[in-house]
Amino acid sequence: MPGSIKDKVAIIGMGCTRFGELWDKGPSDLIVEAVNEAYADAGVEEKDIEAVWVGTLFSGFGGRSVSEPLRMQYKPVTRVENACGSGTEAVRGASYAIAAGIHDVCLAVGFEKLKDAGLSGVPGMQNRTNTHYEQTMPGIFAIMATRYFDRYSLSPEDGKTMLAKISVKSHHNGFLNPKAHLRRELTVEQVLNAPIIAWPLGLFDCCGVSDGAAAAVVTRADMAKKFRPDPVYIKALQICTSPTSGRLTTDYDYTHVEEAYRAGIAAYAEAGVNNPRKEISMAEVHDCFSITEAVTMEDLQFSPRGRVREDIEAGVFNLDGELPVQPDGGLKCFGHPIGASGIRMLYELYLQLQGRADKRQIKDPKLGLTHNMGNEPYAPTVSVAIVGL
Amino acid sequence: MAKAGISSYGAYIPWHRMDRGLFANAWGGFAIPGEKAIANYDEDSVTMAVAAAMDCLSGLDAHKVDGLFFASTTSPYKEKQCSAIMALTLDLRRDARTADITTSLRSGTTAMGLALDSIRAGTAESVLVTASDSRLAAPGGMLEQTLGDGAAAVLLGNEDVIAEITDSYSISDDLAGTWRSYEDTFVRSWEERMVLDEGYLKILPETMAGLMKKCGLGPKDFARVVFDPPGDLRRHGRVAAGLGFEPSQVQDPLNLFMKVGITGAAMAPMMLIAALEEAKPGERILFACFGNGADAFALEVTEAVEKIGERRGLKGCLDSKRMLDNYQTYLRWRDLVPQEAARRPEKQHISLSAVWRERRVILGLWGIKCRRCGTPQYDNGAMSTTPIRVCAVCQAQDDFDDYCFARRKGTVFSYTQDRLAAVVDPPASVVLVDFEGGGRAFFDLTDRDPDELEVGMPVEMTFRKVHFDRGLSNYFWKAKPAR
């Protein structure tokens, strides 16, 4: 009988840098700033931290990637990596250590310094034989959009318009967020007229490539109120990893992400959520591309299969909608410093639950969900976390 | 002397062509009429030879082939055997004898002669000979307009012979009208008038006459005379007339010249294939090739010529084409001008050990078919997943049969046109291919018009050069629209 994380771990402090092309900031600037904010928010100091987990994909190796900039004094520090889901993986490591009764106060940090690479986009995956097809991340998700349009008989215009509305919504939210990378309102026409990056995805279907860091201090649920009156409790923390069969066999439809669906089911069960559409107040999902957000709405059972378009049209996921998604702008506008993103998602839900989200404040949220996805649609590790008061 | 001859043939002409006027537009001067065939940026003499060889082996058992010769003046290697690459690609037996016959414009016919000797001596029953060239001329010259790219393949053997080779004759001569040293990128040439007058117009007739004398035949005994032309086609007719052939007997090089160009070591063999495509049983063909001397062969077409199986042949690729409409693309594909690098990660160095370990997977497009659930699978390599040890469907471990995808047809399940990817011919058309009979994999799509790509499009597999690093050409397979 598997155990449950529900209500065993609380988040008592969080920090997050502004995300963006931070040419004048190095990794240590980002880490120190995010961790200082989290410490101050929790009312703790480094001496209170018993163990640390850090998530980064490209920007550091080993525990030293965070102990070194902070000159942490002989703490147990573990670097974790689960592709774009590395941030959530750091929270998971820290939370499980608390839930296991090994530690009382732990720190999770995620960071990435992408913009020192001098590249467009993020580095791709290559194999040692160089026989891989020409893969970029926009391309590999564009293939999902092509398939989605074909399967549900959407013309390129209708399909792209559906996706454009996702980006317009996220840009509206990001515009309201002082820490977001891309702060600019967009119209559907602007999205549709943007240059194509990987057909059918255009520039504004793609998330920001950003530098940034985020951090969370977690503790035992029964200790949380010693630190603050409004801790945020972890209700579910599930991940699901792909056998990566979908690129070898013809069974995979490439219009959904099975791992997201399964992680969602597991998280709902852990949190005791029966009707996600009604019970989840808000969600931060891994909208690396507009199409990813679209299928994720279906994978997480917010929308019926093949019918997310109706909910997008109806404004369900808008800030003032029935189930606001990406209230902080999402990867799309807040940006995507890979290792930081999972923790950045939690940061927004944490602020929202505490009523600290300023112009983006959602009325009286109860449960928030994060969906953090690493690797391609046919090969991901997807984590779904649910938090609440 | 055992009966030996040609038992199968195949050809390949690149899909891309250029009007010769584009070269004259770029540099001024005279435009020679017609078009020339241009190897795509991912093609070279090895990939074209593979395409011709696959055509030649259509419907035949590759394991019965005892030898493979790769003939070319444009081998990508000074030191490394291309026929060994091709043997893996074509799934020949490990003990098939391989050799590269290079440096002469008659290396194709020289290879045919050597193969024939081997069959007659009884050391081989069938030998596959490929002749392939992609010669580079310096921008701005006439050679840039006349040279074209292409490949031919003939299977020589003593079974199911469609054209018996009854005799052969060769002479060697030091006169080379064109040459390249180890330092040369482009073909060099001497004054054409001297080369034609003292070489082509003397050595070729001498060889052909020598052959006729050797086998006691005269011009009237041959239904066809087939030999390669120089850039000045009039000299071709003059050689034939000088030997006493009527124009109606001559395999006219004009069609190939106007649509493809002079294809180096592949030129004469390609013309021979054109002749065989029209040949009738009982006809005699005199076949010759010029280059540092000349080779000549007497052929006699058999009844089997009418029963040869389906293949693309020369006919099938002559008119399947896409016209390039600008010279800059040509410069880019041949890497003749430095270009701004895309702001994308550079490709990694090739790992020789990884490529060698997976040589059948990479060069032969071999996957597996699970013995338990019957699902064919091909994995062209994520970071850590090759070779396949566990079935993607039923998780059976190491319980597989080998399964080759090289000749499998497929359809496009989904695709993208990627403008971010750093490729020579953007956008990167990436397709997810579902194979007939099962199996799915991502491939780059080549020889495509980006506008024609759609879900459900039929594709076939083609062997290409995908990377060049520290002197190593990295060959692999791509998809291309079925034509």
Confidence of residue A366 (pLDDT cuts 50, 70, 90): very high
CB contact under 8 A, B380 and A132: yes
B369 and B322 within one domain: no
From A103, A286, A336, A371, active-site residue: A336
Would you say residue A15 lies in a domain? yes
Number of domains in chain A: 1
Would you say residue B42 lies in a domain? yes
A153 touches chain B (CB under 8 A): no
Distance CA A225, CA A103 (A): 17
Q: What is the CATH number of the domain that holds A113?
A: 3.40.47.10
Would you say residue A274 lies in a domain? no
B97 and B52 within one domain: yes
B270 and B233 within one domain: yes
A130 touches chain B (CB under 8 A): yes
User: What is the count of residue pairs from A and B with beta carbons less than 8 Å apart?
Assistant: 157
A7 sits in the region (left: phi over 0; alpha: psi -120 to 50; else beta) called left
- CA neighbours closer than 13 Å in the CB half-sphere of residue B117: 8
Would you say residue A192 lies in a domain? no
- Expressed as residue numbers, the domain containing B138 is 5-333
Domain end position, chosen among B266, B298, B333: B333
A315, containing H or E segment: none
Return the pLDDT at A135: 84
The separation between CA B51 and the C-alpha centre of its own chain, rounded to angstroms, equals 6
Is the reported ipTM for this assembly greater than 0.90? yes
Instruction: State how far residue A260 is from chain B, nearest Cα, in angstroms.
Output: 19
Would you say residue A102 lies in a domain? yes
B228 and B111 within one domain: yes
Confidence of residue B354 (pLDDT cuts 50, 70, 90): confident
B307 and B397 within one domain: no
Would you say residue B438 lies in a domain? yes
- Give the count of beta carbons closer than 10 Å to the beta carbon of residue B138: 13
Max CA distance (Å), chain B? 72
- For B41-94, the pLDDT digits (tens) are 999 999 999 999 999 999 999 999 999 999 999 999 999 999 999 999 999 999
Asked whether the predicted pLDDT for residue B381 surpasses 80, the reply is no
Would you say residue B451 lies in a domain? yes
Would you say residue B344 lies in a domain? no
- Expressed as residue numbers, the domain containing A84 is 9-117+211-218
- For B283-336, the pLDDT digits (tens) are 999 999 999 999 999 999 999 999 998 899 999 999 999 999 999 999 999 999
A128 touches chain B (CB under 8 A): yes
Would you say residue B36 lies in a domain? yes
Distance CA A263, CA A239 (A): 5
Share of chain A above pLDDT 90, in %: 94
Asked whether the predicted pLDDT for residue B370 surpasses 90, the reply is yes
Q: List B481's β-bridge partners, or say none.
A: B459
Return the pLDDT at A27: 96
B380 and B316 within one domain: no
B378 and B471 within one domain: yes
Asked whether the predicted pLDDT for residue B382 surpasses 80, the reply is no
B358 and B266 within one domain: no
Asked whether the predicted pLDDT for residue A125 surpasses 80, the reply is no
DSSP secondary structure string for all residues of B184-226 = -SS-EE--HHHHIIIIIHHHHHHHHHHHHHHHT--GGG-SEEE
B382 and B237 within one domain: no
- For B146-192, the pLDDT digits (tens) are 999 999 999 999 999 999 999 999 999 999 889 999 999 999 999 98
Beta strands, E only, B238-348 = 284-290, 293-301, 322-324
CB contact under 8 A, A245 and B392: yes
Q: Model pTM? A: 0.95
- Per-residue pLDDT averaged across A339-367, rounded? 98
Would you say residue B339 lies in a domain? no
Residue B440 near residue A249 (C-beta atoms within 8 A): yes
Determine whether A336 is an active site residue: yes
Number of domains in chain B: 2
Would you say residue A105 lies in a domain? yes
Would you say residue A109 lies in a domain? yes
Asked whether the predicted pLDDT for residue B366 surpasses 60, the reply is yes
Identify the residue among B394, B415, B420 best suited for mutation to test binding to A, counting A beta carbons within 10 A and taking the highest: B420
Return the pLDDT at B383: 53
Determine whether A371 is an active site residue: no
Asked whether the predicted pLDDT for residue B240 surpasses 80, the reply is yes
B98 and B16 within one domain: yes
A121 touches chain B (CB under 8 A): yes
Taking CA–CA distances from B466, the nearest residue in chain A reads A131
Place of tokens 């606001």: A324
Nearest to A127 among B382, B427, B441 (CB): B382
Distance CA B401, CA B381 (A): 19
CB contact under 8 A, B378 and A248: yes
Return the pLDDT at A126: 66
Would you say residue A33 lies in a domain? yes
B23 and B82 within one domain: yes
Nearest to B420 among A123, A125, A198 (CB): A198
Instruction: State how far residue B420 is from chain A, nearest Cα, in angstroms.
Output: 6
Asked whether the predicted pLDDT for residue B1 surpasses 60, the reply is no
Would you say residue B388 lies in a domain? yes
Would you say residue A51 lies in a domain? yes
Distance CA B364, CA B86 (A): 9
Would you say residue B322 lies in a domain? yes
B391 and B258 within one domain: no
Q: What does pLDDT average to over chain B?
A: 95
Q: Please give the angle made by the CA atoms of A214, A85 and A360, to the nearest 5 degrees.
A: 50
From A84, A106, A240, A333, active-site residue: A84
Identify the residue among B351, B363, B384, B416 best suited for mutation to test binding to A, counting A beta carbons within 10 A and taking the highest: B416
